[in-house]
Amino acid sequence: MSKISAAITAVGAYVPDYVLTNQILETMVDTNDEWITTRTGIKERRILKEDGKGTSYLAIKAAKDLISKKGINPKDIELVIVATATPDMKAASTAAFTASEIGATNAFSFDMDAACSSFLYGMSVASTYIESGRYKNVLLIGADKMSSLINYKDRATCIIFGDGAGAVLFEPTTEDLGLKDEYLRSDGSGREFLQATYGGSQHAMTQDALENGGHYAFQEGRTVFKNAVFNMADATVKILEKNNLDKDNVDWLAAHQANKRIIDATAQRIELDEEKVMINIHKYGNTTSATLPLLLNDYESQLKKGDNIIFAAFGGGFNWGAIYLKWAYNS
């Protein structure tokens, strides 16, 4: 029997309408467009402004976009995974709510969190379910309402993050397509450099913590930057070496959009031409779990069946890695 591989067969996406530009941020904190552009590559990001709407709102919109583009019946979806670092609430799964709202009433569902690597790790999980032969499709959604964790008086974080969601469908194939290999790693000694400390099980939310902004994301940017540059590039080199690939047979690099300088460093390490590097950080900023599927959505029309795509990500935890996938369709 031929080996079953997991192929991405559809993409969908959603970003909120409100555009938070560098010029608007200049009026909120001590920063400027020139600094943000040269240090990060970001010009604007999208923010979900409406009260009472959480990550599920973004996830549902992205999933519905995919469902209508692909023309599938949501009742046929077997598993819904929501990759997110900002679930709607504790204890109640965001994925369960999302699955019900999109009409995936025959699916089981769960959330998974590996900070900015959530979607990358989610690709590994989703494809393993398909490769097992037990499931015929998995809807993987990367969604984050990062604005819910951001202190808009902290210029170290508020200039970077944005809100958004993207979704992909994994289905089986026996062709030489789909997810080929992965290299995934974690190092928990990094968690002190990027975290939202209060409100989890270790540190309860207290009045004091709230007044001191303990519920907001804190980042020691320089340390995270150094680790991201080293590890994303290293993982990318490792996945290329393991699969006898080089710059000439890699068609695309889809790297987590945290900082344009980190993406450039990864591309330079493998000497990849600039036109093969997917970029949308300038318009969305860092949307955490949504950056990779938003890239696929933006570049979908340029992707060809058989294209070799290298995905790479790095995030809080620390968690990082790279995945090698062969694109499965022409759009």
The answer to whether residue 158 is catalytic is no
Say which of 259, 286, 297, 319 is annotated catalytic: 286
CA–CA separation, 273 and 232 (whole Å)? 17
CA–CA separation, 161 and 46 (whole Å)? 9
From the CB of 116, what's the least distance to ligand UT7, in Å? 4
Q: Is 224 in the site for ligand UT7 (CB under 6 A)?
A: yes
Element (H, E) at 319: strand 319-326
Q: Is the peptide bond before 318 cis (omega within 30 degrees of 0)?
A: yes
Structure tokens, 142: 């990367």
Q: Is 18 in the site for ligand UT7 (CB under 6 A)?
A: no
Site string for ligand UT7, 253-272 (x = CB under 6 A): -----xx--x----------
Stretch that binds ligand UT7, among 126-134, 173-181, 219-227, 243-251 (CB under 6 A): 219-227
From the CB of 254, what's the least distance to ligand UT7, in Å? 15
Give whole-number Cα distances, 323 to 29, 139, 230, 301, in Å: 37, 18, 17, 21
Stretch that binds ligand UT7, among 35-43, 86-94, 140-148, 321-329 (CB under 6 A): 35-43
Q: Is 153 in the site for ligand UT7 (CB under 6 A)?
A: no
Structure tokens, 317: 């935890």
Using the minimum distance from each CB to ligand UT7, give the nearer residue, 222 or 305. Answer: 222
**What burial letters (b/e) apply to 6-27, b meaning 16+ CB within 10 Å?**
bbbbbbbbbbbeeebebeebee
The answer to whether residue 212 is catalytic is no
Q: Is 42 helix (H, G, I), strand (E, B) or coil?
A: coil
Stretch that binds ligand UT7, among 1-9, 57-65, 166-174, 224-232 (CB under 6 A): 224-232
Q: Is 116 in the site for ligand UT7 (CB under 6 A)?
A: yes
CB within 8 Å of 279: residues ≥ 6 apart: 41, 257, 260, 263, 295
From the CB of 37, what's the least distance to ligand UT7, in Å? 11
Give the one residue of 26, 31, 110, 184 binding ligand UT7; rule: CB under 6 A: 31
- How large is the C-alpha radius of gyration of the chain? 19
Contact residues: ligand UT7, CB under 6 A = 31, 35, 39-40, 116, 155-156, 159-160, 221-222, 224-225, 228, 258-259, 262, 286, 314-315
